Structure 1
Amino acid sequence: MAGVRIDLAEHVRRGDTITWGQTCAEPSTLVEELLAQADGIGDLRCFVGIPADSALTVDTVPDGLTVHSYCGAGTNSALHAVGRLEVWPVHYSNLPGLLSRGALRADVVLVQVSPPDGQGRHSLGLGDDYFSAAIDTARVVIAEVNDQVPFTPGARTLTADQITASIRVSRTPGQLPTPTVGDDTVAVARRVAELVPDGATLQFGIGALPEAVLAELFDHRDLGIHSGIINDTAMRLVVAGVANGARKTLDRGVAVAGLFGGTTELFRWADRNPGVALRPTTYTHDPEVLAASHRLVAINAAIEVDLTGQVNAEVAGRRYVGAVGGAVDFLRGAGQSAGGVPIVALPSTARSRSGPVQRIVSRLSGPVSTPRSEGIVVVTEHGVADLRGLPLNQRVERMIAIADPSHRAELDAHADRVLASV
């Protein structure tokens, strides 16, 4: 096949399910080859995560490939809008099982790895994460050996006998630069930072608001990191000695995550750095590990929260843009951690073409991603509503108090109806 780096038909069968790493861990060249060759193989299914610089777009997905994901982040949202993405609204902790032995069992795993070390081991480098579990059960493992991928401590390694086929490339992995944030997001981030005690172990989601919170923590001491992702700002906290992990119960002195979501500066820092470790989802999201973590503070964003503490983190303006993801896993873990704080943070309003959209609402406009039974701490720029251990009527009062002031009277008028309906 002229111009093709690898003939996937030699390894991939009609009807196969294929998965690969997300964000910066995506094996970009192999994905491009899959898109070019999928119609020739036919009836393929892939499971993907958050895209960084992915070739998988509305314009590139061939008819012979159906796309599945746990999230609507980035270009996934556009795929869903045109009916080309099937969403799996599951907890992040369930993904390894689904891909290794469940309904999404992967036949083929595409991996981006580092060059081999002196012992012939390739590091998964930029993401161990949920797809790693599928490597043990997949029929085929195809590796993209990229000399710009770091050899990361803690990450799973593969040797030649564990790889069915491979290609060699030299290209910059996809990147997730630090987002630009507005004044309202900074105001929320500052309130969240006030809830983070010295010595806390941090979990943070992806996106502008969690990263803005990290930027407000440089005057803290002895923070630790146990998260699904490590980004550039988290790296800077480690470099500054703020996130030194000195008081972590587990992995003391080491920042732990499932993947890296940042820039080449982050990739270079991670290479053979003993202060960081990648671990699979079966560890990063393990409930016993989270509950045992010292003062676990979970920092997750949301699209909207209702007056009883139900969270929609999936749908905005009728578009699927988020996920159930790992929020419940981490919020529950923080709730069970001694001194932990399960935080859901969001500005009280969002901008739209028709004007501000209220995000503290009497009734969610989308699904319940996190149920009110989790007992969370909700933060907006107007205050903090600690809903833990409260009955519904007190929850409603606290949620109205942190809503946009121009919206509080309307919410108060709906309070009796909200309480009567639950």
Structure 2
Amino acid sequence: MPRELRRFIRPGDGVLPGQACAEPQTLVEALVEQRAWYPGASVFLGVNYSGIVRPEHADSLRLASYCGIGHNRALADAGVLGIHPVPYSRLGPMIRSGAIRCDVVLVQVSRPNSRGEYSLGLAADYLIPALETARAVIGEANDQVPWTRAEKFLRREDFALVVETSRAPAAPPPAKPGALEAAIARHAAAFIPEGATLEFGIGTLPDAVCSALVGRKGLKIHSGMIGDGAAGLLRNGIAKGADCALLIGTRKLFDFARDNPAIRLRSCEYTHDAGVLARIQSFIAINSAVEVDLAGRANSEVARGSYVGAVGGAPDFTHAANRSQGGLSLLLIPSNRIVGALAGPVTLPETDAGIVVTELGAADLRGCDLRERARLLAAIAAPEARAALERREGSQSNRRL
């Protein structure tokens, strides 16, 4: 049945598949295999764990993404991936306006329940605006995908084509937190009060914070994504419920999410909406970055010349947390990522700097001038880099004076 894909995709069409663990892998395999039938079609990729789309597929397809995460890094390094450097809150409106073209959406769904409802399974995300915009919806009904509580369900008549499969969802590389991650998590947890609403950025460090929150009560989760750590907070009664756009993790997370009313999959137009976020009190944004400079600016996009990250949701959530009553922004990085000057773009400006946390401690930059920020950040930087950082700041301070 995947051979029928070419019946629904036309030359020059915009095709949008689900991302990360929600990627419809069988459909994406058919998409690239049949690409000669629809030359000039554009494909908007999100987080890419499967690696099915490769640089050579750009011979017929135009590839774009908002991120370099996973195998997208290889596409970016090969010069075949166009990057949209925009906050995550812009993706939904861009899909609806046609700035990100979506004529055909490829979506992984669960098998239908007794009412004939297919669940979006592991992501609602920007699939919601895509489903409401696309000319054709093609589904991969995977019996290894849980039926979850999403804000939109599909019925058989909503699909132009449904392919039934049974395969493990795409998954991030296994990453077990070590001593460094545990130390950063302990320092970060000290700033999280009971009753707070938490946001977790993608990656090992934000997820590791969950293990340091034992004993907290009444937490809530409002996040772009949740992983195994957040599921543990819900399972152990530390958090009451989660509104999120997508699930990224292991089978343990997926099994816990199955028909679980505590996990509500929402459109990114809800999870990242400024108006929604403005109504949340004690909102704590927990994110990581590639590097942070002495002014508190963060680069979350480029490492060693490669586009490896994203603008993503960090600007949306950090901005909201800094303005939430009782809220704050936590930016988690290893100490050797505090640098004198960023080697990549400014993803988070100094105007949104909050609390930077490394394994050596925390630097609360709120209310600090540039000289004080530099002193606090140098104190939690890698010891071997402190002297150079302090000399650099001294030189910059003299020039500012």
Indicate the TM-score class for this superposition, using the shorter chain for normalisation.
over 0.9
1:226-273 CA distances to partner (integer Å, 9 max, x unpaired)? 1111211211111111112xxxxxxxxx21111111122222221111
- 1:42 to partner: Cα distance: 1.0
Name the structure 1 match of 2:276. 289
Question: Which residue identity lines up with residue 267 of structure 1 in the other structure?
Answer: F
Cα separation, 2, equivalents of 1:421 and 1:89:
31
Q: What residue is the counterpart of 1:137 in the other structure?
A: 133
The 10-residue stretch of structure 1 (20-29 or 181-190) with the greater mean CA deviation from structure 2: 181-190
**Match for 1:255: what amino acid?**
A
Separation in 2 of the partners of 1:264 and 1:88? Answer: 31
2-structure distance, mates of 1:272, 1:408? 51
Give SS of 1:142's match: strand
Q: Distance in 1 between matches of 2:4 and 2:169?
A: 22
2:172 is equivalent to residue 176 of structure 1 = yes
Offset of residue 197 of structure 1: 1.1
Alpha-carbon distance between aligned partners in 1 of 2:194 and 2:214, rounded to the nearest angstrom: 11
Structure 2, unmatched stretches of 5+, are none
For the residues of structure 1 that align with 2:174 and 2:192, how far apart are their CA atoms? 21
> Is 1:218 aligned to 2:205, yes or no?
no
The residue that corresponds to 2:4 in the other structure is 7
1:163 corresponds, among 159, 164, 174, to 159
Which residue does 1:227 correspond to in 2? 223
- TM superposition shift of 1:178: 5.4
Q: Map Cα deviations across residues 290-313 of structure 1 (whole Å, 9 max, x no partner).
A: 222231111100111111111001
Checking the alignment, whether the CA contact within 8 Å between 1:175 and 1:262 is kept in structure 2 is yes
Moved more, 158-167 or 298-307: 158-167
CA drift at 1:53: 2.7
2:110 corresponding residue in structure 1: 114
Q: Does 1:67 align with 2:54?
A: no
Pairs within 5 Å for 1:200-219: 200-219=196-215
- AA matched with 2:18: G
TM-score using structure 2 length = 0.95
**Matches of residues 250-289 of structure 1 in structure 2 within 5 Å?**
254-289=241-276
AA at the equivalent of 1:24: C
Aligned counterpart, 1:43: 40
- Bigger drift between 362-371 and 46-55 goes to 46-55
SS in 2 for 1:123: coil
Identity of aligned residues (%): 44
Contact kept in structure 1, 2:282 and 2:327, CA below 8 Å: yes
8 Å CA contact retained: 1:177, 1:263 = no
**Counterpart residue number, 1:353:** none
SS at match of 1:228: strand
RMSD: 1.7
Counterpart-to-counterpart distance in 2, 1:229 and 1:243: 15
The structure with more helix, counted as a fraction of residues: 2
How far did residue 135 of structure 1 move? 1.2
2 CA distance for matches of 1:407 and 1:62?
A: 42
Amino acid at match of 1:371: P
Tell me which residue corresponds to 1:247: none
Query: 3-state DSSP class of the match of 1:120?
Result: coil
- Unaligned stretches of 5+ residues in structure 1: 245-253, 350-358
Aligned partner of 2:88 among 77, 85, 92: 92
2:182 maps to 1:186: yes
Query: In structure 2, what is the Cα distance between the partners aligned to 1:343 and 1:16?
Result: 41
Q: What is the match of residue 79 of structure 1?
A: 75
What's the secondary structure of 2:150's corresponding residue? coil
Counterpart-to-counterpart distance in 2, 1:106 and 1:303:
31
Letter in 2 for 1:348: S
1:282-321 correspondence runs (5 A): 282-321=269-308
User: CA contact under 8 A between 2:120 and 2:150: conserved in structure 1?
Assistant: no
| Counterpart in the other structure of 1:408 | 386
Do structure 1's residue 370 and structure 2's residue 357 form an aligned pair?
Answer: no
In structure 2, the residue corresponding to 1:192 is in which secondary structure? helix
- Shift, 1:57, TM fit: 3.1
How far apart in 2 are the matches of 1:421 and 1:88? 34
C-alpha separation between the residues in 2 aligned to 1:295 and 1:154? 25
Match of 1:127 among 123, 129, 135: 123
Give the total of aligned pairs. Answer: 400
Contact 1:108 1:140 in 2 (8 A): yes
- Could you tell me the TM-score, scaled by structure 1's length? 0.91
Report the secondary structure of 2:42's partner residue: strand
Matched-pair contact (CA < 8 Å) for 1:225–1:255: yes
Deviation readout 1:108-159 (Å, 9 max, x if unpaired): 1111112222332211111000232121111111111122222211342112
Letter paired with 1:367: P
